[in-house]
Amino acid sequence: MDEDRGAPVGIRPAFSTLGVPGMPVDEVVRLAAQYGYQGVELRAHPEEPVHPLLGTRERAAVRGRFADAGVQVLAVAGYAKVAAECPGAAAEAALAHELTELVLLAADLGARYVRVFPGGGDRPAEHAAADAVRRLAAVAPLAAERGVRVLLETHDSHRTGAAAARILDAVDDPHVGALWDVLHSWLGGEAPTATRAALGRHLGYVQVKDVASPHDLTPLQLGAGALPLAEVVTTVVTTLDPGRIDWWCWEYEKRWYPNAAELPALLKQGRAHLDRLTEEASNQG
């Protein structure tokens, strides 16, 4: 690993393939190894090389490429919306099938996590939450069987930690948790300390990113924008459980902003910025 060095205080760096749209798996693995990212979050969509329609041999090949490079498949980032309205039995069955396939894909790739969205839209909050609880509880036994944890991202209809936690508290299963997207909790007006406190034991890992303002969400180099990354890092570092390995994942949204800078040229500096913030936070404690 040309740029590798140990990440401080038990936190490992990863990046999302949302930042390298369509990039072949071999190139993704090479970038991770070169710049010392110990994990990769794989966007599980047919636009990308890895998705639920891959066959058994293709899944084994992907897993092998990551393992050979010593890089972890951190998560399969799916697009199932567990709080969405599903009119009719067919739509409900399709969503259940989508969740099942994401868990099976993650297990086959050796991934720790599956990312899902709330997607409740403008539905009455109580209906959206009830559906999310029921669907997450239904997929939890399969996740437990396959050694995977399904994470509800702080996003869209449930963008704050407090909103996500209400669902997760009701599910109350260790194989269902939270993915903290720091952009969306910030857009929801929630301070990092409040998000971390709300998510508590549910927290799986943290997606970091940076943008110029709530009105300009074009992705920027970490530390170049308005997000309170130092406060996020301090909050996470000071609440680490002894002996636990946690993860940062840089979700650089190049797929949605094609004119943004290319992620590979930013990876070295972005990791250095996160390492510096983590070391500073650790020294404060």
- How sure is the predictor about 106, in pLDDT bands with cuts at 50, 70 and 90? very high
**What residue ranges do the domains of the chain occupy?**
8-284
**What pLDDT score does 249 carry?**
98
Task: Compute the distance between CA of residue 285 and CA of residue 68 in angstroms, rounded to an integer.
Answer: 36
* pLDDT above 80 for 244: no
Higher-confidence position of 36 and 244:
36
Pick the CATH number of 8-284 from 3.20.20.150, 3.40.50.920, 1.20.1630.10, 3.40.50.1000: 3.20.20.150
Residues 159 and 187: beta-carbon distance below 8 Å = yes
Phi-psi region of 280 (alpha: psi -120 to 50; beta: other; left: phi over 0): alpha
pLDDT band at 4 (very low <50, low <70, confident <90, very high): very low
Look up residue 11 and give its amino acid. I
Say if residue 254's pLDDT is above 80.
Answer: yes
pLDDT at position 197: 97
> Is the pLDDT at 1 greater than 60, yes or no?
no
3-class secondary-structure state, position 280: helix
